[in-house]
Amino acid sequence: MRRVVVLLALLALALPMAAWADTITLTNEFGSISISAAGITSRGSQLSSFNGITAPAGHALGSVSFSVGALTSGSIRWGGTFSSSGSWFTVMGIGKYGEPKGTIFNGSFVGPVDWTLTSAPGKLNLTYTLSGEIAGALYGGRQATGWTTQNIYTINGQLTQGIGHISLGSSQLTTPEPGTLGLLGTGLVGIAGMFRRKLVG
């Protein structure tokens, strides 16, 4: 009985590492965003790298676009929280430099989306980060979850008109590895069988 308990404890410790295996890293730059209390929407941000593949100078691997829901707390000027309701996050590839062609990722924000002022108060030039958890489907149909951080800059006059610009965005997506999950399931069945035999005997 004690051996089964020890095995289950070891399995519980190994589960987070075994279940999640593949990580995809994306970066984007440039493009503009429209900002209002109704939400934030990006336009024209270029996919600059995909999992180690970097676009040549003056070119892009594709595009990154996103939208978040309404402001739920705080303010646009000083920072706050936006809703993920009605949000989306899409990454498209052109397939010219080794990246997939077509939809690389299609998903949405999950939970609150943070809008954080990162420049000193009172400055003419303002910088913000938009960050939140994302989830959806990768090319090939695999499900993925992850996190994105978009660095935004603007100036007071543009901000009052709802205009911002993306300097750099970074996203990491993690996908479960089917082979590892299958082995994990087999191990769980084996442990359950041992536990049942012990109880019956």
Domain of residue 149 covers: 21-200
Residue at 16 is within a domain: no
What is the DSSP annotation of 108-166? Answer: EEEEEEEEEE-SPTT-SEEEEEEEEEEEEEEGGG-EEEEEEEEEEEEEHHHHHTTEEEE
**8 A C-beta contact, residue 92 and residue 103:** yes
Q: What local confidence, expressed as pLDDT, does residue 122 receive?
A: 76
Rounded to whole angstroms, how far apart are CA atoms 38 and 102? 29
pLDDT score of 124? 86
Answer yes or no: is 14 within a domain: no
**Stated pTM of the model:** 0.78
Residue 1 within a domain:
no
Residue 10 within any structural domain of the chain: no
Amino acid in position 97: Y
How many domains is the chain partitioned into structurally? 1
Is residue 122 in a domain? Answer: yes
Q: Is residue 8 part of a domain?
A: no
- pLDDT tens-place string over residues 127-167: 999 999 999 999 999 999 999 999 999 998 999 999 999 99
